[in-house]
Amino acid sequence: MANWHTQSVEETVKQLDSSLETGLSESAVQKRLAEVGLNELVERGGRKPLEIIAEQLKEPLVIVLIVAALVSLLLGEYLEVIVILAIVILNSIIGFSQEYRAEQAIAALKKLAVPTVRVRRGDHLLEISARELVPGDVVTLETGNLVPADGRVVESVNLKVQEAALTGESEAVEKHTDAINEENLPLGDRKNMVYMGTIVSYGRGTAVITATGMSTELGNIAELLQDVEQEQTPLQKRLADLGVKLAWVALAIIAVVLVIGWVTRDPTIPVSETLKILFLTAISMAVAAVPEGLPAVVTITLALGSQRMLKRHALIRKLPAVETLGSVTVICSDKTGTLTQNRMTVNVLDVVGHTQEVATLLSGKGIMPNADTDPDAPPQERTLSLL
C-alpha cells in the first residue's frame, strides 16, 4: 500500500486521477470497478449443502458405522443394515438442518448490513451502496457514519473518528488534512487518514478513497484471519479418537476369533467351510462392538444445546462448538464495540434545575413540574415538548 498519509491533498488527488470538485466520471467508476472489484471483504465461500452433508459423513465414528452396514449387508443381516443406515441418516439430517439454517441466517444478516454513502460523482452528490465505491471516489463523512473504505482526509471540520474496531483505542482520533512526513507510523497515528470499519463520532469531513475491499487495512486483517487453519473441537478430537480405537478393536476381535477358531477347528469340516464360518463369526462380533447409536445421541444433544443458545440470541454456526462453549471459563475480548455498543446515550436530563431520568420521561410516568404538555399526547411527544 502507498503511504498516502505522507502526501499532500493535491498529490493524493492527482495520483488517484480524481477531482475534489467533480469526483469521478461514470466511465472511470466502471473501469475501476472492473479492475479492483466491489468494495467488500471477500470471505471464503459459505459452505454449500453438499459440503455440510459431507462433513457429517466424514466423522470417524460415522465411517465405522457405514463400514459396519456394508459388512452386515454381505452377511445378509438386512435388519442390522436398515437400523445402522437409519441412524446414520438421522444423524446427518439433524446436523445438516442445524448448520444449514445457521449458514442461511448469517447470509441474510450480511445482506441486511449494507451501508450507504454519499459520494461526489460527475459534479453530483449521490447516495450509493458502499459496495460500489472505488479508489478516487470523494465521499462526505458526518457524525454517526460508518467509514466505508480507507481514505485520505481532504476536509475536516472538527472531524473525530472512533477507531477502536481497528486499533483498540477507545478515544476518538481528531483528523486533519496536513501531510505527515513519517512513513512507518502506526495506524492510530495517521491522523489524516480514515479506515474502513471505523465510525465518525464527531464533526464532519470529506475523504478521497485510497483503497477498497480486501486492499484496505481491515481487509488485510480479514485475509490473515482466513489463513488460520480450522482446528477440531475437544469433542471432535475425542470422537475421532474413539472411532480409531473402535476400528482397532474390531480388527483385534476379527484376528482373535480367526486364530482361536482355526486352532480349535473341527478337522472333519472342509477348510474352506471353516474359514467362511470363522470369517462371518468374526465380522459379526466386530460389528456388534460398534455403538451404532452414539453419533446420533451426540448430534441430538448438540442440537438441543444449539436451540437453547438460539433462545438466548446466540447463533451456532457449527454444532461441535456448543460443547466447546460449555467449557469456556474465561473470555478475553476487546470491550469497546464488542461487549458494549461504543456509543453514548443520555440517561438524565437537567433542565433549569429540574432533573429527570430519560427512561422515566419516555415512559410518560414522570413529567417535570410546571411542564406545559398535552396529557393526551403520546409519551414521546410529551417528552419532546419539554425540550
Q: Is the pLDDT of residue 237 over 90?
A: no
Residues 282 and 140 in one domain: no
Domain boundary among 224, 255, 288: 224
Domain boundary among 296, 323, 340: 296
Residues 246 and 105 in one domain: yes
> At how many degrees (to 10) do helices 78-112 and 294-311 cross?
20
Domain residues for the domain of 272 are: 49-110+231-296
152: helix, coil or strand? strand
Residues 218 and 273 in one domain: no
Domain boundary among 163, 197, 224: 224
208 domain-assigned: yes
- Give the pLDDT of residue 370: 46
For residue 166, the domain's CATH number is 2.70.150.10
> CB under 8 Å to 180, separation ≥6 — which residues?
5, 6, 189, 190, 191, 192
Residues 160 and 240 in one domain: no
**Cα dist. 81→7, 68, 180 in Å?**
72, 8, 73
- Give the pLDDT of residue 352: 72
77 domain-assigned: yes
Looking up cell 470523494 gives: 138
pTM of structure: 0.58
Residues 75 and 194 in one domain: no
Residues 240 and 219 in one domain: no
74 domain-assigned: yes
Examine the residue annotation and report whether 178 is marked as an active-site residue of this protein.
Answer: no
249 domain-assigned: yes
Residues 32 and 138 in one domain: yes
- Give the pLDDT of residue 177: 92
CB 207 within 8 A of CB 194: yes
C-alpha grid cell, residue 168:
483498540
- Give the pLDDT of residue 142: 92
Residues 92 and 218 in one domain: no
Spatial separation of the C-alpha atoms in residues 220 and 225, rounded to whole Å: 9
154 domain-assigned: yes
Residues 33 and 152 in one domain: yes
Residues 239 and 217 in one domain: no
Amino acid found at 200: V
Residues 247 and 290 in one domain: yes
310 domain-assigned: no
Query: Which one of the listed residues 334, 372, 374, 376 is annotated catalytic?
Result: 334
Q: Is the pLDDT of residue 60 over 80?
A: no
Q: Is the pLDDT of residue 264 over 90?
A: no
More confident residue, 151 or 270: 151
322 domain-assigned: no
Domain count, the chain: 3
Residues 220 and 235 in one domain: no
340 domain-assigned: no
